[in-house]
Structure 1
Amino acid sequence: MTPPQAHHEWWRGAVIYQIYPRSFADTSGDGIGDLKGITAHLDHVASLGVDAVWISPFYPSPMKDFGYDVADYCGVDPVFGTLADFDALLAKAHGLGLRVIVDQVWSHTSDQHPWFQASRQDRTGPHADWYVWADARADGSPPNNWQSVFGGPGWTWDARRGQYYQHNFLPEQPQLNGRHPAVQDALLAAAEFWLDRGVDGFRLDAVNFMIGDPGLRDNPPLPPGGRRTRPFDFQDKVHNQSSPDILPFLERVRALTERYDGDRFTVAEIPGDHAAREMKAFTAEGRLNSAYGFLYLYADRLTADLVRTGAEMWPGEAGEGWPSWAFSNHDAPRVVSRWAEGRDERALAELLMLLLVCLRGDVFVYYGEELGLPQGEVPYDRLVDPEAIANWPQTLGRDGARTPMPWRAGGPFAGFSTVEPWLPIDARHPALAVDAQKVDPNSMLKATRRILGLRRACPALRIGDMTVLTTHPLLTITREGDGETLLAAFNLGHEAQDWTAPEGYVVVDSVNVTQAGILPPLGGVLLRRTGA
C-alpha cells in the first residue's frame, strides 16, 4: 500500500522532463545546445505541467561519449557555458516551480580526468588504485572475458603502467574502482558540490556498473537465443556489474541527501539482464528513492503483457522502493517510431502519453516527446554516436533520438540554432515545432499539457496503487488512492473493440475515441468512480 508520507514527498508520482543539453537550444551560435538555451525555454517546460527537469551531463568532457565521459565532476564544459549560467538556470527553474535533477556518472570517468592521468603514471601513487587495473595473462591477453557495451574487450593495455585497465564502455571511459573508500569519498564530495548549489537531486548513470568482482572472474555465457549484435550480448554480466558491494555506498548517498532537508531525490538507471532484482535492492529502505530500467525503452513492441510485467515488478509491498518509467530517452530510439507498426504516429503519441501518466511511479518525458517527434533520420556520414558507428546498420543507434529540438517551423534550422547543428534536423520535424503546435488546438503539445495535468488533478494517478485487470483484447487497469478510484482502458491493438464503461464511472479523459461503445485502435479512456 502507498505509505502515508507519500503526500509530503514532491518526487513521489512526479513528472520529470529530460533535457539533453546538446540538442535543446543553441544560444552561442556554434550549433550545439547550451545552458542559456535551456534557461530561455524553461517557460515552455513549465507550461507542460511537469514537476522537475533532469539535465543530462554538461560537465567538462572530451565528448567521446558526449558528456558521459566526465573530466571534471564540479564544472561546466565551455561548450555549454559556465557555472554562473548553471546558477542562473537553477534560479529560473526554481522561480517557475521546477525542481532540477542532474546526472552523476560514477561508474567511470574520461581518460582525460586528472584522477586517471595520475593513476596511469605508476602503481604506487595516491591515485594508483582509483581505477580497475590488472596484469595481462601469461600470453599477453586481457585478464578475463569481460566485454564492452560498445563492442570488443572490456580492457585496454596501457604501456605506462604495463597493465590493462577496465572499461565497460569506450576505452576513453576507464572504470573507476568504486569499492575504494577514497573514490567513494571523492564522488560524494562532487555530489555535495551540486547539492550546495541547490540542485534537487541526482539521476545516477549506470550505477550498477560501479563495482565489479574483485577476483575478476569470467562472466558465464547466456543461453542461446535473443538478438545479439555485440560480444557483450553473449554474456551473463554477473561479475562486471551488479555487485552487492554497491549497496553500502548507496546508503552513504542517501545519508548525504538526507542532510539537505530530506527533500532531495535520487533515481538510478539500471540497465542489464537482472534489472528487476537490482532496482529492488537499490531502492530498499535507506538507499535510493527510485530506479528505472529498460523494460519499455528497449521493447520493440508495446503489449498489454509488457505493462503487466512492469506492474508486477513493483507491486507496492511493504519496504519496497518507488519505480520510475520512461518510454523514450537519449539511449533509445524515439517511442512513436519503435511502436507505430504502421499506425498513425500522432494518435499513438497521445495514447502513450495517457498510458505513461497512468503508470504507478514517477514518469519521465523526453524532450520532444510532448511534440510527438518521430526518430530523426541521420545519414551515415552525419553519425557521431560511437555505438551507432560501430554497429551500423544493425542498430538504429542513439543519434536519431538526439536530433535538435524544433522550436520554430519557419526559422532556420527549426529555431534551434542560427548555424548547421551538430546533428541534422529531420525533414519531418519543423512541421511539429513548438510555435506551430501552440496555435493548433488539436496539437500533440496541447494534448500533452492536458494529459500531464491529470497527474495533479487525480491523486490516485500520482500516489495510488495499480492493478492490471485485463490484457486481452484490451488493457484495463485501476488506480486507487487518497479516496479516489480510477479505471483506464487502452486498445493497444490494430482492430476496434466493443467496450462500454461500467456503471458508476464518469469519463475524466479520453484519446482517439469518437464513438460510444467502441474503443478504436490506439483509443484510450480514463474514468473516475462516482461517489469516491
Structure 2
Amino acid sequence: MAKQEQIVIGVDANWWRGAVIYQIYPRSYQDSNGDGIGDLKGITQRLDHIASLGADAIWISPFFTSPMKDFGYDVSDYCDVDPMFGTLSDFDALMARANALGLKVMIDLVLSHTSDQHPWFKESRKDRTNPRADWYVWAEPKPDGTPPNNWLAIFGGSSWHWDARREQYYLHNFLTSQPDLNLHHEPVQEALLDVVRFWLERGVHGFRLDTINFYFADKYLRDNPSLPKELRNDSIAPGVNPYNHQLHLFDKNQPENLEFLKKFRAVLDPFGAAAVGEVGDAQRGLEIMAEYTSGGDKVQMCYPFEMLQPKRLTADLLADTFARMNAVAPDAWPCWAYSNHDTVRHITRWELSDAAARTYTVLLMCLRGSLCLYQGEELGLPEADIDFEELQDPYGIEFWPEFKGRDGARTPMAWVTDNANGGFSESNPWLPVKAPHLNRAVGAQDADPASMLNHYRRALAFRRAQEALRYGDLTALVATGELASFRRMGEEEIFCAFNLGTEQARIGLPTGTWAAIGGELGATAAIGNEVTLGPWGFCLMRKE
C-alpha cells in the first residue's frame, strides 16, 4: 500500500477499494438527439439517477470512433468520440457533471486489438517494410497455405485471417475486423500508454480494461493443446462454440503481460487513477487475477467470471469460489458482478424470483471486493426476448438459434412507462424496448418504497455505512446446504448469513453479543443465539 500513498496530495488513491461501479452501455442509456442511439449527452442527463442510487463511480463502455462492427469494441481512433455518441466537448461536460455529483468516471479501454479501419492497421497491412509493419501479429502460412497454428477465435472459426497484400495471416481473437496488436513490439506499448495519458489528462479516474489477458500472444505461435470434454466451460456460447475445446496456453495469458501492466500502472499512479481488468479465462481466472493484482505495481482490481456463469450462485459455489481465491490470491482485490453487457441478465440466467433477486443483491453488497452493477440491474430487469430479425449482435447472428447473443442484455433503459420507447428515445431505438422492461421503468419504481430500485438504494447505502463491508476481510465462509454464512472483519465485525434456497434454514450465531442490523433491507433478526431464515431469508448482525 505504500506505493499507492505516494500520490499527488488531495487525490484519494484508494477510492476504488470497496467501490460500487455502475456500468453504462452508452448505445442504450439515453438518446439525446432522437436518432435512436444513446449518446454522451444522454448519459449526462441521467447521471442524477446513478447518484441517487448511491454508486461511487461509473464505467462507460467504449464510445470511441469506430465502424461499430462490434459496437465500439473495434476502435479506429482511441482519442476521439464517435460522432454517434457526440464530441470530446460532450465528454468534458459529462466529466464536469459527474464530478459535481461526486461520481468517479472510468472508461473502457480496448488495448488488445483495434478495428481494421484504424490508421495503424491500414498502414501495417500495406507491405512488410512500412513503419508499422510490426504493429500487429502477422505470420507466415504453413507450407500448404493453412493458418500458422490451431488457434480459434471467440466469435467462431480460426483466429487467423489471410491478407493478400502482405501474403500473410493476421491474428484476430474476436471478429476478423478486429486485428490483434503486437505488444511484443515496444512502439505499440508506447502508443497505447500515450492513449492512457490522453484520457487521464482529460480527467478520467480510471479504466476498465477489456480482455486484459489477451494483450500478448506466444511469440513462437505454438499450438494450443486440446481440452478434455469434462473440463470445458461453455458459458460463452453453450454447446456451439469450439473455442472451449482448447486449453488456451499460448494465444493469451502470456508472462510478458506482467511487465506491460507495470508500465501501465506507472502511468496511472501520478493521477491517483485505478483500473479493473476483465479476465477472460474459464480455467485460470482466479490465478490470473492473483498475478495481475499482486505487488501493488500492476492493476488494482480484476473481475473473474465466477459470478457471471450460467449456474446459479449457490452457497457451495460461493464457498468454493472464495476458497479457491484465498488459496491462490489471498491479497487480491476482486471486482464482483452478476451481470454485464456480455452475459444474459442474472435475473433470467439464474431464474430468480423477486425475493431471490433481493437477497442476491444484499449478498453482493456484503462480499469482500469492489462491485459492478450493470444498467437496469437496479430495476430487476430480466433478459429481453429478441427476435432474430431484431438482432444486431454479430455473435448472436453467427450462432442463432442455439445462442441468441448479447442483445437481450443490451436493450435500452426504460425510464417511463407511458412511452413505447420507455423515454429512451423519440424515435425507434436501435434495439426494441420490450413490455416487461416498460413495466419496470424507473418512473414506475422511483416513488414506491417497496420497489426493486429502492431496495438497491437501501442496499448500497447499507454497504456504504459499514466500514467492514467496504474494506474489511471476509472470513469463516461456510456452506451448509443452501445456507451461506461468513464474517466481515474491520474496525467492526459483521456476521452475514444467507439462505439461498426455498426451504427454511436455521443457524446459530458465533460466540459473543450481537445486534441486528439491516432491518430496512428485510434482514431477519435472531432470537437468542439462533436465527431461523425462511426461503431467501438473510440475517446481518454486528458484534457489540
Equivalent in the alignment of 1:378: 386
Equivalent in the alignment of 1:166: 171
Matched, 1:520 2:534: yes
What is the 5 A alignment of 1:311-460?
311-315=322-326, 320-340=331-351, 343-344=352-353, 346-460=354-468
Q: Which runs of 4+ in 1 moved over 4 A?
A: 1-5, 316-319, 499-503, 510-517
Worse-matched range after superposition: 113-122 or 382-391: 382-391
Q: Is the 8 A contact 2:4 2:14 kept in 1?
A: no
| TM-score, length basis structure 1 | 0.95
Matched, 1:229 2:229: no
1:37 aligned residue (27, 37, 42): 42
Equivalent in the alignment of 1:217: 222
What is the 5 A alignment of 1:233-244?
233-244=244-255
Pairwise CA distance, 1:455: 2.0
Equivalent in the alignment of 2:477: 469
How far apart, CA to CA, are the structure 1 residues paired with 2:124 and 2:195? 19
Pairwise CA distance, 1:105: 0.3
1:267 aligned residue (276, 280, 297): 276
For residues 438-490 of structure 1, give each alpha carbon's deviation from its aligned partner in whole angstroms, at most 9, with x where no partner exists. Answer: 11110011110100012221000001000243211310111010x20001111
Amino acid at match of 1:180: H
How far apart, CA to CA, are the structure 2 residues paired with 1:435 and 1:280? 42
Q: Is the 8 A contact 1:2 1:464 kept in 2?
A: no
Equivalenced residues, count = 524
Pairwise CA distance, 1:222: 0.4
For residues 110-139 of structure 1, give each alpha carbon's deviation from its aligned partner in whole angstroms, at most 9, with x where no partner exists. Answer: 000000000000000001000001111111
How far apart, CA to CA, are the structure 2 residues paired with 1:79 and 1:71? 14
How far apart, CA to CA, are the structure 1 residues paired with 2:476 and 2:157? 41
Worse-matched range after superposition: 437-446 or 489-498: 489-498
Identity %: 51
Structure 1 residues 456, 469: CA separation in 2 closer, same or farther (over 3 Å shift)?
A: same
Worse-matched range after superposition: 416-425 or 116-125: 416-425
Pairwise CA distance, 1:416: 0.7
What SS does the aligned partner of 1:478 have?
strand
Q: Is the 8 A contact 1:375 1:400 kept in 2?
A: yes
For residues 181-215 of structure 1, give each alpha carbon's deviation from its aligned partner in whole angstroms, at most 9, with x where no partner exists. Answer: 00000000001000000000111100111101011
For residues 385-429 of structure 1, give each alpha carbon's deviation from its aligned partner in whole angstroms, at most 9, with x where no partner exists. Answer: 111111122224211111110000112301111111111112101
| TM-score, length basis structure 2 | 0.93
Amino acid at match of 2:365: V
Pairwise CA distance, 1:3: 12
How far apart, CA to CA, are the structure 1 residues paired with 2:404 and 2:123? 37
How far apart, CA to CA, are the structure 2 residues paired with 1:318 and 1:132? 32
How far apart, CA to CA, are the structure 1 residues paired with 2:382 and 2:502? 20
What SS does the aligned partner of 1:203 have?
strand
Amino acid at match of 1:402: R
How far apart, CA to CA, are the structure 2 residues paired with 1:350 and 1:156? 46
Amino acid at match of 1:410: D
Equivalent in the alignment of 1:126: 131
Q: Is the 8 A contact 1:25 1:34 kept in 2?
A: yes
Structure 1 residues not aligned, in runs of 5+: none
Amino acid at match of 1:524: F
What is the 5 A alignment of 1:7-406?
9-225=14-230, 226=232, 227=234, 228-260=239-271, 263-272=272-281, 273-285=283-295, 286-315=297-326, 320-340=331-351, 343-344=352-353, 346-406=354-414
Structure 1 residues 234, 319: CA separation in 2 closer, same or farther (over 3 Å shift)?
A: closer
Q: Is the 8 A contact 1:407 1:434 kept in 2?
A: yes
Equivalent in the alignment of 2:488: 479
> Root-mean-square deviation (CA), in Å?
2.1
Q: Is the 8 A contact 1:156 1:171 kept in 2?
A: yes
Pairwise CA distance, 1:310: 2.8
Q: Is the 8 A contact 1:412 1:418 kept in 2?
A: no
